[in-house]
Chain A
Amino acid sequence: MRRVDCMKAVAPLTDGILCVTTQGGATNEWNAVCPSDGNLQMKTLGLGSSVGLGIALGLPHRKVVVFDGDGAVLMNLSGLVTVGWMQPKNLIHVVFDNKGYEASGATPTATAFHANLTELAKGAGIRSAVEVRTVAEFEQAFKRALAADGPHFITAVVEIAKEVGQHTRYDEVENRYRFIRHLEKLEGREILAYPADISRAM
């Protein structure tokens, strides 16, 4: 199973949904398959679950999807514990587990041996945690996660991509402004406000 085929299968389901992607192939492929100002392209490896949690808590009425990788998740296992503690109903954490550090030479990660991300997620308190191995299974698990309260965790076992695609054309600061403006439109309220109330009081 290829990561990009999984993404193609669920892209039509993500209208109005915010997508956080981990750096490398996941970011490049998702932005090629489903370009949107609602995509946030992470730079800190492992922080996907944490940033996704922050967005999910700030917008509890809106679904938030994290497209992550095994190497990144292993760098921030405590992020899973915090999701398990907070139980955000609207967070869907998808981990494409290719069992290697794909973007940095494809040497193996711990999931190539004895570590199991689905069991780690369950152990962290994310009860809806499943592993899928075909695109059809992935699409079904994703649809289930959209329809039911979470948090959800989906481990999609994929092959290492032969190439990790093109980098997106804009930088983090433009990503930040595009994402916030996109949210302002979706939510119909101002987000990028200067704290004038406090500066007046100082």
Chain B
Amino acid sequence: MVREDNAKLLLDALKRTGVNFVASLPDFSLVRVVERLFEDKDFIHVPLSREEEGVGVCAGAYLTGKRCALLMQNAGMLNACNSLSTTALQFQIPMLLLVLYAGYRGDVAFPTLGQVTEPVLDALRIPHHILGRVEDAYEVFGGALVQAYNMKKPVAVLMAKWIF
């Protein structure tokens, strides 16, 4: 379960990058972050039922001038591959993909997810960065956001479980 202070630090870092619109689906590690999103009036928060819709919701919000992030687990990122291809990439929509990296180094669950996540992002030509320390959140989120707008495409931040 995510520590309360880290959930706050992560959202504060995200806020400093100017992100003001977040669509989300929870993972056990993301619970405290999602709970805060429901309360935090600085974000428009859209709770999803499936990750693929989140790409569409963020794309629509981007077209109106919002800075958008889609928060999910990597299994859900795989659910979103078609909309990432035919909406986000094909229409050149920048957004942050904040992905809980199940099956990453040290994780004893989700071995298959851990193996396919980065190759799938590579195949989609979506740049990805690992966030392994909460203290780095602002630098990684901000850098990924600049890259997303510069390249006009989604950029993923793969968040290790141990930061929560």
**Most B CB within 10 A of own CB, among A51, A76, A172:** A51
Which residues on A sit within 8 Å (CB–CB) of B146?
195, 198-199, 202
Q: Are A50 and B86 in contact (CB under 8 A)?
A: no
Q: Are A57 and B53 in contact (CB under 8 A)?
A: no
Partner of B63, one of A82, A85, A176, A199: A176
Q: Which residue of A lies closest to B89 (CB)?
A: A172
Q: Are A202 and B143 in contact (CB under 8 A)?
A: yes
- A180 at interface by CB-CB < 8 Å: yes
CA gap between A15 and B57 in the complex, in Å: 23
Q: Are B143 and A76 in contact (CB under 8 A)?
A: no
Which residues on B sit within 8 Å (CB–CB) of A81?
49
Main secondary structure of the interface of B (DSSP, over half): helix
Which residues on A sit within 8 Å (CB–CB) of B149?
194-195
Partner of A51, one of B87, B92, B139, B143: B87
Q: How close is A157's CB to chain B, nearest CB, in angstroms? A: 25
Q: Are A54 and B65 in contact (CB under 8 A)?
A: no
Evaluate whether A195 and B65 lie within 8 angstroms (CB atoms) in the complex, with A44-B83, A79-B56, A202-B143 already known.
no
Which residues on A sit within 8 Å (CB–CB) of B90?
43, 172
| Size bracket of the A interface | 35 or more
Which residues on B sit within 8 Å (CB–CB) of A76?
50, 52-53
Q: How close is A2's CB to chain B, nearest CB, in angstroms? A: 28
Which residues on A sit within 8 Å (CB–CB) of B46?
53-54, 57, 82, 86
CA gap between A202 and B129 in the complex, in Å: 15
- A78 at interface by CB-CB < 8 Å: yes
Interface size on B, residues (CB 8 A): 41
CA gap between A115 and B1 in the complex, in Å: 40
Which residues on A sit within 8 Å (CB–CB) of B61?
54-55, 57-58
Which residues on B sit within 8 Å (CB–CB) of A48?
56
Which residues on A sit within 8 Å (CB–CB) of B110?
none
Residues 31-47 of chain B: 1 if any A CB is under 8 Å from the residue's CB, otherwise 0?
00000000000001011
Contacts from A to B (Cβ < 8 Å): 20, 40, 42-44, 46-59, 76, 78-79, 81-82, 85-86, 172-173, 175-176, 179-180, 183, 189-191, 193-195, 197-199, 201-202
Q: List 11 A-B contacts (CB under 8 A).
A: A47-B52, A47-B83, A47-B87, A51-B56, A52-B60, A54-B21, A58-B60, A59-B64, A79-B56, A195-B17, A195-B18
Q: A50-B56, A172-B90, A173-B92 are in contact. List 18 more A-B contacts (CB 8 A).
A: A42-B87, A44-B55, A49-B56, A50-B53, A50-B55, A54-B21, A54-B57, A54-B62, A58-B44, A78-B50, A79-B56, A81-B49, A82-B47, A85-B47, A172-B92, A176-B91, A191-B63, A202-B146
